[in-house]
Amino acid sequence: MTKTCEQCGEEYKTRKNRSKYCSRECAGLAKKANRVTLTCQQCGEMFELAKSNAKARKYCSQACYTQAQLVPREELTCHTCGNIFVRRKGESKGYCSRKCWSARTGTGLRVIATCQECKKPFDVLNHKQRKHKYCSMACQAKANEKRHRECTCEVCGNGFNVHAFRKTARFCSQECSYIGRQGSGSPVWRGGSIGWYGTNWSTQRKKALERDHHQCQLCPSEKKTKSPLVHHLIALRLFKGDWKKANRLKNLITLCRSCHGKVESGSIIMKVG
């Protein structure tokens, strides 16, 4: 393929897609053009550097960097023991050693605490005193057993333990929960399905679909809803067999299967009237 050199502007042939220069001389000149001149913050001499590394470099050599790290230093007085020590500016918090820091702040020191289960004393780090309430895992296990209460499963009748903070515990396992929450055990149970909707249901259903143009009224779109469902705003079972009032058009609405499931489960609450 034929490319144009970014340095001299002449055309050249190459097999590499990433090639930018026709020769090593042009590549070297391009790299020199991208270099900047900086001043060393330690010795004050000028040195050249690539633009990409200009923000990170402050010194011209490793020797200047080492000398800059050695100075400046200052003498400080330890807040705990009163000894004088030398540190770089901005490095120390006022303590000559970790022991002095621990003694002043309390971190790293061990104190005597009392186990809340067996009432025996035990030593613990000072900064962990609030979290550690028991002397051993055995005492912690005994304390946790006292916080549990025994319940009876509504499905299989077996006893099981739950934490005291749980107000309701009906099932011992996921399998029993699945069985117990079916039918009348479901929190959204409303009496089951009604097989017969009245003699005029098919006629009223067609009228409701034609009125709503076969479109869901909660998520309307220009296209017709596939397999639309006609929903009773006031449940049919609340009319106690008076299907003529229940199947009036003002009590019917067209919904898609997704919205109908949300309405039946209570995720969407519809206003009546």
- Is residue 271 a part of any domain in this protein? no
Q: 206 and 238 in one domain?
A: yes
- Is residue 89 a part of any domain in this protein? yes
Q: What is the pLDDT of residue 84?
A: 87
Q: Which amino acid would we find at residue 11?
A: E
**pLDDT above 90 for 128:** no
Mean pLDDT computed over 201-220: 91
pLDDT band at 90; cut points 50, 70, 90: low
Q: 174 and 161 in one domain?
A: yes
Which among 69, 90, 122 is the end of a domain? 69
pLDDT band at 210; cut points 50, 70, 90: very high
Q: 249 and 211 in one domain?
A: yes
Q: 233 and 180 in one domain?
A: no
Q: What is the pLDDT of residue 273?
A: 63
Q: How many domains does the chain have?
A: 6
What are the DSSP calls for 199-243, one per residue? TTHHHHHHHHHHHTTT--SSS--SSPPSS-EEEESS-GGGGTT-H
Q: 207 and 250 in one domain?
A: yes
Token pair in block for residue 125 = 């780090």
**pLDDT above 90 for 243:** no
Instruction: State the Cα–Cα distance between residues 108 and 99, nearest whole angstrom.
Output: 8
Segments forming the whole domain that contains residue 25: 2-33
Q: What is the pLDDT of residue 201?
A: 92
Which among 84, 105, 126 is the end of a domain? 105
Q: Which amino acid would we find at residue 201?
A: W
- Is residue 270 a part of any domain in this protein? no
**pLDDT above 70 for 105:** no
Taking only the tens place, the pLDDT of each residue in 176-204 is: 988 888 877 777 777 777 778 889 999 99
Q: What is the pLDDT of residue 71?
A: 62
Mean pLDDT computed over 72-85: 82
Taking only the tens place, the pLDDT of each residue in 20-72 is: 888 888 888 877 777 788 888 888 888 888 777 777 788 888 888 888 777 66
Number of other residues whose CB lies within 10 A of the CB of residue 56: 7
Q: 40 and 28 in one domain?
A: no
**pLDDT above 70 for 92:** no
**Average of per-residue pLDDT values in the chain:** 84
**Residue given tokens 């807040």 in the structure block:** 79
- Is residue 272 a part of any domain in this protein? no
Q: 26 and 43 in one domain?
A: no
Q: 205 and 261 in one domain?
A: yes
- Is residue 22 a part of any domain in this protein? yes
Q: What is the pLDDT of residue 125?
A: 79
- Is residue 131 a part of any domain in this protein? yes
Token pair in block for residue 209 = 């679909």
Q: 213 and 174 in one domain?
A: no
pLDDT band at 254; cut points 50, 70, 90: very high
- Is residue 194 a part of any domain in this protein? no
**pLDDT above 80 for 112:** yes
Mean pLDDT computed over 116-133: 85
What are the residues whose beta carbons fall under 8 Å from the beta carbon of 75, sequence distance 6 or more? 84, 85, 86
